[in-house]
């Protein structure tokens, strides 16, 4: 008889009065445990060393131009809110970083760093992190991130501009002087001027970029997108964002263009552009549109739109996973449970899902001993299957269970061979909790599994 059946039989064999007595007994144990924990918290020693995960923000570099304060802000620019609502979803974090870069650079930095921790080999995410480092006045951090990119990705116009501007800010030889075709060199030089100059020289650089953006050619799209992202004047930024969206027709450029509009105009603009309709054509575009809705805190709208998609589109694996994330954010846990049993987050162990949801119910009723025991049963029921344990880990984050999240990470890290990328994710998650105990534990695991990457990773994690 499996663990789940034993658990059900145990609860069903008692008459109603007996079950209430057991609940009262468990409640008393919980109260005693709670009081003991409070006493321990009052008198426990402090000062757990966590220097490994304490990352000091560098002093701002005066040469970097401050982002405009009069451009519309993204409503959900609170990075912690996004990370908590959509755990294990680096694609959403990366999109959020891009959309809030101009108005909330610190939030953009936090989101891009979290996404890079989860997907360290993603070049687009690494580029977002480099841009966020520059926007927050950290040219050295921007250079560190660019150095981690593959060589062809470092050669894109935006990365060469940021790299050259960073070199100027750090008084290093200017990367923009490397031999290149005249048109490219001129564009890079103007971009560096946009980032580092002020007054008339900066205006001249912006005008040079505008001439390139208005001229049909290989650099038109890159320069118009650059102006849309970085110009201080909101009207000018909107103009170039609209041009970029027209030139590319890409969903991400359309979303960015609409995000610059006043909040009251966005719904009409979405409808006028037929954005919802055009994004329903492919799973990739649908994911971008869902991310846009989520970041506007329109989570219910996102779920309704997703449920209305054609079956072949919404049945795609990434969209099924996103639907489960939306259900978790809306606390529609019964539906989430059904989706997970159907494999929305990958192959799951049914008994483990049952135990995990039972643990959540026990926590709701403040039955802490039962809550912890059931969570351990959920992990044990996975029978060391990595995919099933990953689902349990994601549930711990969706439920907001910090201790159980740490335990789930550590149970996964025990599986051979040790997963260094997972250890890196654990370190990133622990850092975001600002909890000394979690920080120390996560770094111990990372160093145990891959000491070299742990040391290199600490440097790369510094935004």
d(CA 99, CA 224): 16
Q: Which residues of the chain have pLDDT under 70?
A: 1-77, 173-181, 457-463
Residue 140 CA to residue 165 CA, distance in Å, equals: 11
Task: Say which residue the tokens 């116009």 belong to.
Answer: 157
Q: Would you say how long the chain is, in residues?
A: 463
pTM: 0.74
Q: What is the pLDDT of residue 378?
A: 98
What integer pLDDT is reported at residue 76 of this predicted model? 43
Q: Which of 158, 154, 142 is nearest to 190 (CA)?
A: 158
pLDDT reported for residue 74: 52
Alpha-carbon gap, residue 386 to 379, rounded angstroms: 10
Alpha-carbon gap, residue 35 to 40, rounded angstroms: 9
Residue 9, pLDDT score: 53
Amino acid 185: pLDDT: 85
Provide the pLDDT for residue 84. Answer: 76
Take residue 24 and report the two structure tokens written for it. 């009262």
Q: Which of 240, 238, 285, 244 is nearest to 266 (CA)?
A: 238
What is the C-alpha to C-alpha distance for residues 432 and 32, in angstroms, rounded to an integer?
A: 31
Q: Angle at Cα 322 formed by Cα 318 and Cα 326, nearest 5°?
A: 170
| Residue with token string 């998650």 | 429
**Which pLDDT value is given to residue 463?**
44
CB-CB contact of 320 with 314 (8 Å): yes
Of the candidates 317, 389, 328, which has an alpha carbon nearest to the alpha carbon of residue 353? 389
Q: For residues 381 and 350, what is the distance between their CA atoms, to the nearest angstrom?
A: 9
> Residue 78 in 3-state DSSP?
coil
> How many percent of the chain have pLDDT more than 70?
80
pLDDT at 101: 85
Q: To the nearest whole number, what is the mean pLDDT of the chain? A: 81
Distance from C-alpha of 193 to C-alpha of 208, rounded to nearest angstrom: 10
Cα gap 126→133, rounded to integer Å: 11
Closest CA to 91 of 291, 292, 325, 330: 291
What confidence score (pLDDT) does residue 71 get? 57
Close Cβ partners of 449 (under 8 Å, ≥ 6 residues apart):
413, 418, 419, 420, 423
Angle CA(404)–CA(20)–CA(381) in degrees, nearest 5? 30
What are 64-105's pLDDT values in tens digits? Answer: 333 333 455 554 447 877 887 788 888 888 888 888 887 788
Copy the structure tokens of residue 198. 């002020």
In Å, what is the CA distance from 312 to each residue of 217, 283, 324, 341, 458?
Answer: 38, 9, 17, 20, 42
Give the HSE-up count for residue 207: Cα atoms under 13 Å, Cβ half-sphere. Answer: 6
How much is the CA Rg of the chain, to the nearest whole Å? 25
Give pLDDT, residue 179. Answer: 43
CA distances from 395 to 40, 355, 404 (A): 28, 11, 9
Tokens (6 digits) for 250: 């890409």
The pLDDT assigned to 206 comes to 92
CA distances from 286 to 119, 127, 282, 300, 362 (A): 21, 23, 6, 15, 37
Find the largest Cα–Cα distance for the chain.
85
Residue in 423, 370, 394, 418 with CA at minimum distance from that of residue 117: 423
C-alpha 391/C-alpha 398 separation (Å) is 10
Separation between Cα atoms, residue 442 and residue 345, nearest integer Å: 24
Q: CB–CB of 130/124 below 8 Å? A: no
């Amino acid at each position: 008889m499996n663990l789940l059946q034993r658990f059900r039989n145990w609860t069903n064999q008692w008459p109603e009065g007996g079950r209430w007595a057991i609940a009262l007994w468990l409640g008393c144990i919980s109260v005693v445990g709670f009081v003991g924990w409070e006493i321990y918290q009052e008198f426990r020693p402090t000062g757990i060393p966590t220097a490994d995960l304490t990352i000091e923000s560098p002093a701002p570099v005066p040469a970097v131009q401050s982002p405009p304060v009069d451009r519309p802000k993204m409503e959900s620019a609170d990075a912690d809110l996004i990370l908590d609502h959509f755990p294990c979803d680096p694609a959403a974090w990366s999109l959020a970083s891009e959309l809030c870069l101009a108005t909330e650079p610190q939030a953009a930095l936090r989101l891009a760093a979290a996404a890079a921790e989860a997907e360290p080999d993603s070049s687009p995410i690494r580029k977002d992190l480099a841009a966020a480092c520059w926007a927050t006045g950290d040219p050295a951090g921007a250079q560190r991130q660019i150095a981690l990119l593959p060589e062809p990705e470092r050669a894109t116009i935006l990365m060469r501009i940021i790299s050259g501007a960073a070199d100027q800010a750090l008084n290093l030889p200017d990367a923009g002087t490397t031999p290149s075709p005249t048109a490219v060199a001129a564009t890079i030089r103007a971009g560096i001027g946009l980032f580092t100059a002020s007054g008339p020289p900066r205006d001249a650089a912006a005008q040079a970029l505008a001439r390139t953006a208005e001229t049909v050619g290989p650099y038109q799209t890159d320069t118009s997108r650059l102006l849309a992202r970085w110009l201080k004047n909101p009207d000018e930024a909107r103009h170039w964002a609209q041009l970029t969206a027209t030139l590319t027709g890409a969903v991400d450029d359309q979303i960015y263009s609409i995000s610059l509009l006043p909040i009251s105009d966005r719904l009409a603009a979405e409808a006028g552009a037929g954005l919802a309709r055009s994004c329903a054509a492919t799973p990739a575009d649908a994911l971008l549109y869902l991310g846009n809705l989520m970041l506007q805190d329109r989570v219910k709208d996102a779920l309704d739109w997703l449920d209305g998609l054609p079956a072949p589109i919404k049945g795609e694996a990434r969209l099924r996973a996103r639907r489960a994330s939306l259900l978790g954010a809306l606390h529609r846990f019964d539906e989430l449970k059904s989706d997970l049993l159907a494999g929305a987050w990958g192959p799951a162990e049914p008994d483990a899902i049952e135990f995990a949801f039972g643990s959540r119910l026990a926590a709701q009723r403040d039955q802490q001993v039962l809550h912890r025991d059931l969570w351990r049963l959920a992990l044990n029921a996975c029978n060391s299957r990595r995919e099933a344990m990953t689902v349990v880990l994601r549930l711990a984050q969706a439920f907001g269970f910090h201790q159980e999240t740490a335990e789930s990470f550590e149970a996964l890290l025990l599986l051979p061979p040790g997963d260094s990328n997972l250890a890196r994710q654990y370190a990133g998650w622990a850092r975001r909790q600002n909890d000394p105990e979690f920080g120390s534990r996560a770094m111990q695991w990372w160093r145990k599994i891959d000491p070299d990457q742990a040391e290199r990773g600490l440097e790369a994690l510094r935004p």
